[in-house]
Amino acid sequence: MFLGSYLIGLREGLEASLVVCILVAYLVKTGRREALRPVWAGIALAVALSALFQAALQLSDNELTFEATELLGGTLSIVAVGLVTWMIFWMRRTARHLKAELQGRLDSALRLGSGALVLTAFLAVGREGMETSLFIWSSVRTGTEGTTEPMLGAVAGIVTAVAMGWLFYRGALRINLAKFFTWTGGLLVAVAAGVLAYGVHDLQEARFLPGLADKAFDISGWYDVGSWYGTLLKGVFNFQPDPTWLQTGAWALYLVPTLFFFLRPAGSPGKPAQDAPAPAVAAESA
């Protein structure tokens, strides 16, 4: 649970940090420090919105009936998986030319004024914040009641991402972003498959989907959910010892084709993925 949340916090946070460090470095380098204020304002608004969204999710979870809670949880878990899947593929595709793309958007925003800068920063950080809030909320619901591991993992991932963003800005960190996002993306596909399976289980418990009693297998007689391996498999992959056929089918139908398309290089379906080296996203400080 901690590792899965750490990964999503790291990836989402790093995406936002890269955007922010490119925006800030570009403005500083071109002598437009006065434009930094609307950028920070947009970031602050995005963080506040993400916190409010997280609070709203928690409040709704506490006040609804069991069936309604399971229906909401299952639906939002599936939505979270869709958003994270889109993010994984988008980030892998754009990591190699993220700096040029962001600088083009920033030029357009500068021509439109401070309001456009606020909106640019708000959208850059807000999207990742909303996705992180939704995914972490789904992870908390699937974990042990009262556990703080998903939240701690997400916070640790975001703190790591902010530190990496600062190092990128200072020009002190140079990594192949394409390879980094490929490896973490592959792990997140497996994490998302578990969240999807549990979301399906929630919908079955809400009586929205059938087959709650139809178990694909049941190893709960000897499988210890409280052991080190049980904690690891539950925390990272949301594994449960008695899944339904519908859960198992949803897990397999998501994991196999998603990994196939994610790892397959464009135009070369028969070869292993080999991304071209990504230029380091390290901005020169003024």
> Tens digit of pLDDT for each residue in 151-191?
787 788 888 888 888 887 777 567 676 777 777 788 788 88
Q: Higher-confidence residue: 252 or 141?
A: 252
Mean pLDDT for the stretch of residues 9-21 = 76
In percent, the amount of the chain with pLDDT more than 70 equals 71
Mean pLDDT for the stretch of residues 89-100 = 67
Confidence category of residue 286, pLDDT binned at 50, 70, 90: very low
pLDDT of res. 113: 65
pLDDT of res. 99: 61
Confidence category of residue 52, pLDDT binned at 50, 70, 90: confident
pLDDT at residue 221 is higher than 70? yes
User: For 56-60, 73-77, 124-128, 274-278, which range has the lowest pLDDT when averaged over its residues?
Assistant: 274-278
pLDDT of res. 277: 44
CA 189 – CA 81 distance, rounded (Å): 9
Quick: pLDDT tens for 224-265: 877 777 766 776 677 889 999 999 999 999 999 999 998 887
User: For 77-86, 129-138, 218-227, 245-254, which range has the lowest pLDDT when averaged over its residues?
Assistant: 129-138
Mean pLDDT for the stretch of residues 196-215 = 90
User: For 182-196, 208-222, 264-278, which range has the lowest pLDDT when averaged over its residues?
Assistant: 264-278
Mean pLDDT for the stretch of residues 123-139 = 73
Mean pLDDT for the stretch of residues 7-24 = 76
Mean pLDDT for the stretch of residues 255-283 = 62
pLDDT of res. 78: 86
pLDDT at residue 278 is higher than 60? no
Nearest CA-CA partner of 243 in 199, 208, 206: 199
pLDDT at residue 111 is higher than 70? no
Tokens read off for 161: 């991402």
Confidence category of residue 215, pLDDT binned at 50, 70, 90: very high
pLDDT at residue 132 is higher than 80? no
pLDDT of res. 210: 92
Quick: pLDDT tens for 96-107: 666 666 666 666
pLDDT at residue 118 is higher than 60? yes
Average pLDDT over all residues of the chain:
75
